[in-house]
Amino acid sequence: MADAPAAGGCSPQQDYPTIDPTSFDVVICGTGLPESVLAAACAAAGKSVLHIDPNPFYGSLFSSLPFPSLPSFLSPSPSPSSASSSSSAAAVDLRRRSMYTEVETTGEAPEPSRRFTVDLVGPRVLYCADEAVDLLIRSGGSHHVEFKSVEGGTLLYWEGGLYPVPDSRKAIFKDTTLQLTEKNLLFRFFKLVQSHIAADAAAAGEGEGEASGKLPDEYLDLPFVEFLKQQRLSPKMRAVVLYAIGMADYDQDGVDSCDGLLSTREAVKTIALYSSSIGRFANAEGAFIYPMYGHGELPQAFCRCAAVKGALYVLRMPATSLLVDEDKKRYVGIRLASGQDIMCQQLIVDPSYEIPSLDMPCTTPVSNSPRKVARGICIISSSVKRDSSNVLVVFPPKSLEEEQVTAVRVLQLSSNLAVCPPGMFMAYLSTPCTDAFTGKKCISKAIDALFTTKASDDLEGHSETTSENNTEGVKPTLLWSCVYLQEITQGTSGTALSCPMPDQNLDYRSILESTKKLFSDICPNEEFLPRNSAPKYADDDSDSSEITR
């Protein structure tokens, strides 16, 4: 978790330490989650690693910041000027750019504001059974981070109201809003999918090509929305499965507007992950968990694992230039703000750095118009769901207005995660978009649908009791909000590797997949964070059930 403002980096007058040695296999700039996972993986593979960050804390674009630091991070100060060096190596300036635009803030945060911790990657959770959790266990990072359950489950916004998502047989049976016909059809659908998942797992384990119970390829290749229609699910139940369980981002019924048509094959994988996450940990309700103190704890956990394996860490150390071998047209090192030159075999930077072109082809094409995600951060006075601290809300396309072509996700967090004072809540919103107007409009409409604005000045002391007295139908009061846009790019390969940035997804699957591809470029013959790479702890009983406390 951050302890100081992010954007200022280091003062030009600061005395920087001298780094010894001056040559490494891998140099990594920025301590975001992909960079930190790569540092741990490279160190576990026996590489010498130098990991630097201009900030006084870990996390970069994946940080969890004290509230007062947020404005300076979203609108950073210019990069430090390049320091002089005695080296004869050719150098090109390395500049940082802001990933955030269209920042708009309303209201004032309650005091003391430092008791609020703000995630830059929200809304985001971890599935109990996903690879991010497995990597934490395999690497030993699970010893450095604790989790809480998103115990309130998922709510679907439908026709102006919030409804619990029936995501299991037990939830379907208990749901009083569903008609008997809907329950039977949904039971049958889940049974069909579960039979396919079980048969697919059995076939994979036995090495067989086919198994009884698997869905035929003609079903798996269908658009998922068409498969759901064949199962005669109602529009509301289709929305549940598509957007609250299958996690589709775009309107699956609008062919013209759908940038990401979800296939049945892809959706079944997500449903399998969702289903296997429910009940994995005895003390975690539902499918999702969230790190105590925010997502900035995750990169810090992997950095600690890398340090145990010998990686060298230097915070408050900006990089000002890249060193170039002009004959080979490749980057061979980095110049620090101290003026010291560090040589390396492989250079990795976080996406806020602009990598100057050396007229060499990049193995990953870069889009001329980067994708964007509109994000919102809110401080509210009470929970959107009575008697629930942490809860996920999904707005399907067209639920807010007819022109809405993307889903909006909202994650509410409480003080039991140590991210805000008791009696108050944090809420994070996001939706993919192509332009600022559309994205911010969607976020604003979701905020208006869930919260009411502060109506009077006599609310002092009210927030401490609102959550206890809140009843269904009474909206939480919005005390403060910030809406902004963030670019999205994937990791790129070249003479310097650029890591992926936070995307629009609810989980880390896509980011980790991109990170593993970058690792294969660096260490093509090495296993990615093998299980035996985890350091041994005195209390280590290798019991994955201890990941959630």
pLDDT digits (tens, 9 = 90+) for 59-111: 999 999 999 999 989 987 655 555 555 555 688 898 888 889 999 999 988 88
Q: Are 196 and 220 within 8 A, CB to CB?
A: no
Burial class, 404, CB count within 10 angstroms (exposed 0-12 / middle 13-18 / buried 19+): buried
pLDDT digits (tens, 9 = 90+) for 433-453: 989 999 999 999 999 999 998
> Residue 206's pLDDT is what?
64
- Find all residues with CB under 8 Å of 207, minimum gap 6, and list them: none
Name all domains of the chain by residue range, CATH numbers in brackets.
23-98+129-144+293-366+490-534 (3.50.50.60), 150-164+369-488 (3.30.519.10), 168-277 (1.10.405.10)
**Nearby residues of 383 by Cβ (< 8 Å), 6 or more positions away:** 152, 389, 391, 412, 414, 425, 467, 470, 476
Three-state DSSP state, 3: coil
Mean pLDDT to the nearest integer, 308-326: 94
pTM of the model: 0.88
Q: Would the pLDDT of 147 be above 60?
A: yes
Query: For 184-204, what is the mean pLDDT?
Result: 89
Residue 467: predicted pLDDT: 39
Residue 303 reports pLDDT greater than 60: yes
**pLDDT, tens digit (0-9, with 9 covering 90-100), for 495-529:** 789 999 999 999 999 999 999 999 999 999 899 99
Q: Is the separation of the CB atoms in 26 and 50 below 8 Å?
A: yes
Choose among 478, 454, 374: nearest CA to 103.
374
In terms of DSSP bridges, do strands 477-488 and 452-453 run parallel, antiparallel, or are they unpaired? Answer: parallel
Contact in structure between 448 and 521 (CB atoms under 8 Å): no
First to last CA, the chain: 19
Q: What is the CA radius of gyration of the chain?
A: 24
Residue 466 has pLDDT above 60, yes or no: no
Beta strands in 294-388 (DSSP E): 312-314, 319-325, 330-336, 341-349, 353-354, 371-380
40 in Cβ contact with 137 (< 8 Å): no
- Please report, rounded to a whole number, the percentage of residues in the chain having pLDDT higher than 70: 83
Nearest to 8 by CA among 42, 56, 44: 56
Judge contact between 43 and 306, C-beta under 8 A. Answer: yes
pLDDT of residue 469: 38
Q: Which residues lie below 8 Å from residue 457, measured CB to CB, with a gap of 6+?
A: none
Nearest to 279 by CA among 289, 269, 270: 289
Quick one: which of 136, 430, 523 has its CA closest to 299?
136
Residue of 283 and 455 predicted with greater confidence: 283
Q: Among residues of the chain, what percentage have pLDDT more than 90?
A: 65
Q: Which residues contact 549 (CB under 8 A, 6 or more apart)?
A: 146, 147, 283
pLDDT given for residue 530 in this prediction: 87
User: Rounded distance, CA 44 to CA 522, Å?
Assistant: 13
Instruction: Provide mean pLDDT across the span 472-494.
Output: 86
The torsion region of residue 336 among left (phi > 0), alpha (psi -120 to 50) and beta comes to beta
Summarize pLDDT for 334-375 with one digit per residue, the tens: 999 999 999 999 999 999 888 877 765 444 444 445 689 999
Q: Are 350 and 318 in contact (CB under 8 A)?
A: no
Amino acid at 490: Q
Q: How far is CA 422 from CA 209, 413, 416, in A?
A: 54, 11, 8
Residues 6+ apart with CB under 8 A from 2: 55, 56, 57, 59, 63, 64, 65, 66, 69, 296
* Residue 428 pLDDT greater than 60, yes or no: yes
Is residue 484 scored above 50 in pLDDT? yes
- Neighbouring CB atoms inside 10 A of 469's CB total 10
Strand partners, 349: 29, 498
Distance in angstroms (rounded) separating the CA atoms of residues 368 and 445: 29
Can you give the pLDDT at residue 531?
79
Render 487-506 in DSSP notation, one character per residue.
EE---B-SSSEE-----SSS
Length of the chain in residues, anyone? 549
> For residue 313, which of 533, 56, 537, 140 has the smallest C-alpha distance?
56
Return the pLDDT at 96.
84
Residue 408's closest CA among 426, 419, 392, 424?
392
pLDDT of residue 200: 82
- Determine which of 219-223, 306-310, 352-356, 482-486 has the lowest per-residue pLDDT on average: 352-356
Q: Which of 250, 221, 281 lies closest to 406 in space, CA to CA?
A: 250
Mean pLDDT, the chain, whole residue set:
86
Q: Tokens 């994946």 belong to which residue?
A: 62
Of the ranges 256-260, 353-357, 534-538, the best mean pLDDT one: 353-357
Q: Is residue 536 scored above 70 in pLDDT?
A: no
The pLDDT tens digits for 392-414 are: 999 999 999 999 999 999 999 99
- Which of 94, 32, 109 shows the shortest CA–CA distance to 421? 109
